[in-house]
Structure 1
């Protein structure tokens, strides 16, 4: 299956999921990640603000903040790159042309990732080698090309696949969090 065909199938399956299933998945994913050793001493974590059909990040972000962890979230820029801002649940948000609600705040620059214990990224699928299938715009591949920080994709259980189509510029993840637990890439 090509990347586009696989994306279409996975997006369709996500749209067909009920809100209750998505909510339960988000809570389970948060519990698994909050119990991970990489989080236990974290002072800063990068995490995206999920869209409606993605594995939800709200319980994870709330859990991190309750522990005093600074959470930085991405801002998509017009040139196809990402910047980062400290997450503040009370901050006003702006909906981007991509349909993503991004909080207003002072951009921190790409170096914000240097101090992150973990970078949580969106994905439509992850394979056993850590290859991540995104939505195809390349924002995260460009943003993560230089980082050495651990990367974790959030996916529904059926989106952890044996293999996904990938290209040399696709940045792999070191783990995937699913409602059934954490998968660490060997």
Structure 2
């Protein structure tokens, strides 16, 4: 299956999920992420602010803030790269031209990820080898090239697949969290 065809199918399934299903998934994902020992010890991590059809990150971000963990979130730049901003509790967001919620704040620079214990990224699917299918613009693949911290994707349970189409430049993840639990990539 091509990347474009799989994206279309996955996006259609996401749009079909009800608000209660999405809310329940967001709560379950938050509990599973918070139970990961590396996250439990983190002082700072990177996470995205979810779009409505994505596995929700609101409960996770709120719980991290309650624990005193600093959360840096991405903001997209016109050159198709990501910068990072420290998300303060209660900070409002605007929606970027790409439809992504982004907070206002002082940009920390691309090297902000070096200070994070874990980087949590969006995905449309992840396979058993850690290949991540994103939306196709390459923002995260460019941002993750030199990241040493473990990368974790959040997906719905039916989006953890045996194989997803991938290319050599696609940066793999080391784990995926679904509402059903944590999947660690072997190796």
Q: TM-score range by the shorter chain?
A: over 0.9
How far residue 40 of structure 1 moved from its aligned partner, in angstroms, is 1.7
How far residue 148 of structure 1 moved from its aligned partner, in angstroms, is 1.1
Structure 1 length normalisation: TM-score? 0.98
**CA deviation map 1:27-49 (0-9, x unaligned):** 00000010111112100010000
Asked if the contact 2:126/2:155 (under 8 Å) is kept, the reply is yes
The answer for the alignment partner of 2:170 in structure 1 is 170
Q: Does 1:141 align with 2:141?
A: yes
Over aligned residue pairs, what C-alpha RMSD do you find? 0.7
Q: Which runs of 4+ in 1 moved over 3 A?
A: none
The answer for the alignment partner of 1:116 in structure 2 is 116
The answer for the alignment partner of 1:13 in structure 2 is 13
The answer for the alignment partner of 1:151 in structure 2 is 151
Matches within 5 A, 1:30-49: 30-49=30-49
Asked if the contact 1:45/1:116 (under 8 Å) is kept, the reply is yes
Asked if the contact 1:120/1:151 (under 8 Å) is kept, the reply is yes
**CA deviation map 1:142-172 (0-9, x unaligned):** 0001111100000000000000000000000
The answer for the alignment partner of 1:71 in structure 2 is 71
Secondary structure in structure 2 of the residue aligned to 1:86: strand
The answer for the alignment partner of 1:85 in structure 2 is 85
What number of residue pairs does the alignment pair up?
A: 186
Matches within 5 A, 1:51-62: 51-62=51-62
Asked if the contact 1:88/1:103 (under 8 Å) is kept, the reply is no
In structure 1, stretches of 5+ residues that fail to align are: none
Asked if the contact 2:130/2:175 (under 8 Å) is kept, the reply is yes
